[in-house]
Amino acid sequence: MSSPYLTLTVVELTQETNDAVTIHLEAPGRQPIASAPGQFLTLILPCGPGGKKERRAYSLSSTPSEAPRLSVTVKRVTGGLVSNYLLDTVRVGQQLEAMAPLGNFTLTPNPAAARSLVLVGAGSGITPLMSMLKAVLRDEPRSQVLLVYGNRNESSVIFGQQLRQLEAQSGGRLQVEHIYSQPTGPVAAHQHTGRLNRTMLLRILEQRHQAPPAQADYYLCGPDGMMAEAKSALELLGVPQAQIRRESFVAAAETQETAAAQPGGHGDVSDSDDDGQIVTRNVTVNYEGTEYQFEVKPSQTILEAALDLDIDLPYSCQAGLCTACRGKCLSGKVHLDEREGLSDSEMNQGYVLVCVAHPLTRDVVIEID
């Protein structure tokens, strides 16, 4: 099995706003790295206490057609350990450790498609949407894209100049609607004042959307409040759930900034006829040809117990969202604190996320992909 870890070199830095930078990366020998529009890259950085390595997932703002370059856009988070480390120290020529691109919040371009896409984002939630819209504009000449993008003001718009250029060059295939909660200047055409909410989104879709709402595909990425408003608007319009994809930006812990992933199903791996008690138990984890047996305390997840023993399992967000730590439960039962990262199909096949998993029986055996 090939290693999930990469060593990437910083080849260029693009200052997007005062507090956001795009980091352009390439592998040794400019070897292309497989990715899909909407996926994320996990950076592993020695910025913790005593040089401890910390991991953060950043959505790719590049597209597969830009290979061998992979680009991530990082926005400074007040008190954020990793974002501040990156923005204060990263330099061209520097090498960064990373995991191969992951994530289920993806769009697959189809040159024969003639579809209508609506992308709704706020703040740094634009990053995976940017990858998607660039890929569609390049590879789907008959498709239309409407981007609804919320920010504090004009100066906080990530990719502002690039979006203006893409819109101007698209021949009408890309429409961009900006929403500013605290605008600093006069509001121009296709700009709105206030918070990106249900009413505003309904108004924009009525004015700018060419296809019937229920026939479009929707991709949502941003804070939970924005996502809930957008989802409510789409429900009112009768949009089928299957045509709505979303990626939450969720704080997993005080030391983490944001982790992103595609929500999935909500089944429970644990069965009601089990005692359901989370107590100290031993588990077995198979990873890369090695079998690890270790104890998991009630206060720990399976991943935390492994990391405390220096067992190097793959992980990224530690919030049950990104699927980097996905494994298959071959025997026994586990409880998952969070199920957003797994689809119904994956749940039915016995897949679990060890970063949010607790053993419920004595015979838990998990095989990590």
Q: What is the pLDDT of residues 44-79, one digit of tens each?
A: 999 888 888 888 889 999 999 999 999 999 998 888
33-47 pLDDT tens trace: 999 999 999 899 998
Q: Is the dihedral of CA 257, 265, 107, 288 positive or negative?
A: positive
Share of residues in the chain with pLDDT > 70 (%) = 91
The reported pLDDT for the residue numbered 276 is 61
Q: pLDDT band at residue 254, thresholds of 50, 70 and 90? A: very low
Under a CB-based contact definition with an 8 Å cutoff, are residues 276 and 250 in contact? no
d(CA 360, CA 281): 8
4-14 pLDDT tens trace: 689 999 999 99
271-321 pLDDT tens trace: 333 456 789 999 999 998 899 999 999 989 999 999 999 898 988 878 787
3-state secondary structure of 292: strand
The reported pLDDT for the residue numbered 49 is 85
259-275 pLDDT tens trace: 333 222 222 344 333 45
Cα 64 to its chain centre, rounded Å, is 16
| Lookup: tokens for 160 | 């502002």
Q: Residues 316-333: what's their mean pLDDT?
A: 86
d(CA 80, CA 73): 15
Share of residues in the chain with pLDDT > 90 (%) = 62
List C-alpha distances in Å: 346 to 67, 123, 138, 141, 148: 30, 31, 32, 34, 31
Task: Tell me the β-bridge partners of 357.
Answer: 336
3-state secondary structure of 110: coil
The reported pLDDT for the residue numbered 179 is 94
The reported pLDDT for the residue numbered 251 is 34
Q: Tell me phi and psi for residue 25, to 5 degrees.
A: -125, 150
Give the residue carrying structure tokens 């507090």.
19
Q: Tell me phi and psi for residue 256, to 5 degrees.
A: -110, 150
The reported pLDDT for the residue numbered 303 is 94
Under a CB-based contact definition with an 8 Å cutoff, are residues 250 and 150 in contact? no
